[in-house]
Structure 1
Amino acid sequence: MSNFKKLSHVLYRCDYHIVWTPKYRFKVLSGLVKQLLDHDIVMLLEWQGCEKKELNIQIDHIHLVVSVPPKVSISKLMGILKGKTAIKIFKSYPQLKQKPYWGNHFWSRGYCVDTIGLDEEKIRKYVQYQEKQEKVEEQQKLDFGPL
């Protein structure tokens, strides 16, 4: 249970692997742009109550492993990350906006997201164990009769 986090009325572990790219997968995520993104992504995650587990900014895409509280949807989080960072990049580096193909959009429209959790075999064994344990407890109640 140590991997789980706690809010006032929920115990959770919602870990995601998210990948997204700049528009047309241009190779622009290096140098100062990379440093700006590294800082701003971490800041925005903290602002949303999320925990960065891994962040890898490649020259043409970003990998993020993040723990997200259940009250924050992935689509909302990605809207914030992509929207706020695009605005800041275009303000900090106006020369990027000069290219006609950017069209005021820094990031490509989509992203890839996958959950990170217990593997399926562990879950099946746990469920089977719970069923067996429940039957044992039922049998013990029958053996002892009404109290």
Structure 2
Amino acid sequence: MSRYEKASHVFWRCQYHIVWTPKYRHRILKNKVGRDVYRSIHVYCEQLGCQVVELSIQLDHVHLVVKVPPNLSISRLMGALKGKIALKLFSKYPYLRKKKLWGNHFWQRGYFVDTVGINEEIIRRYVRHQEKEERS
């Protein structure tokens, strides 16, 4: 049963592939901003009891494969990630807030989410090699 996590009264394996983008799909997730997003995702996921399985930060979008405990909804996870990361980036990089296009929002409103089931390795490989796919 090593594929499953255990809580007091439940065995679970809830994995999701999530993709989201900065506002207007600006190619802003590079250098220090991209590294801060990467680190923040790991920190905030750990705080919420989630486990990052794969993570790829592209210039204009984020791919995340994550294990989420059954007591946490995806909408709550995404609200926390997107909200906390945006606040952190706006405070650390004030020039981002000054761009009129942002309107005080760093991320697009929505996101893509899919469950990871039998094709887990295919999805993980896709996320891992996303940058190579973008260049070709």
TM-score range, shorter chain: 0.7 to 0.9
Q: Output the amino acid matched with 2:116.
A: I
Hey, what does 1:129 align to over in structure 2? none
Residue 117 of structure 1, CA deviation: 1.2
TM-score, normalised to structure 1, is 0.79
SS at match of 1:72: coil
SS at match of 1:11: strand
SS at match of 1:44: helix
Hey, what does 2:10 align to over in structure 1? 10
Q: Output the amino acid matched with 1:57.
A: I
Query: What is the count of residue pairs matched by the alignment?
Result: 119
Q: Which runs of 4+ in 1 moved over 2 A?
A: none
Hey, what does 1:50 align to over in structure 2? 50
The CA distance in 2 between the partners of 1:108 and 1:97, in whole Å, is 15
Hey, what does 1:97 align to over in structure 2? 97
Residue 2 of structure 1, CA deviation: 1.7
Alignment of 1:1-147 (within 5 A): 1-118=1-118
Give a deviation string over 1:40-63, Cα, whole Å, max 9, x none.
110000000000000000000000
SS at match of 2:3: coil
Residue 89 of structure 1, CA deviation: 0.3
RMSD: 0.8
TM-score, normalised to structure 2, is 0.86
Bigger Cα Rg? 1
Give a deviation string over 1:5-62, Cα, whole Å, max 9, x none.
0011110000000000000000000000011111111000000000000000000000
Unaligned runs of 5+ in 1: 120-147
- The sequence identity of aligned pairs, in percent, is 56
The CA distance in 1 between the partners of 2:96 and 2:68, in whole Å, is 31
Q: Output the amino acid matched with 2:4.
A: F
The CA distance in 1 between the partners of 2:118 and 2:96, in whole Å, is 42
Give a deviation string over 1:41-88, Cα, whole Å, max 9, x none.
100000000000000000000000000000000000000000000000
Give a deviation string over 1:75-121, Cα, whole Å, max 9, x none.
000000000000000000010111111000000000000000136xx
The CA distance in 1 between the partners of 2:111 and 2:75, in whole Å, is 10
The CA distance in 2 between the partners of 1:88 and 1:115, in whole Å, is 28
Unaligned runs of 5+ in 2: 120-136
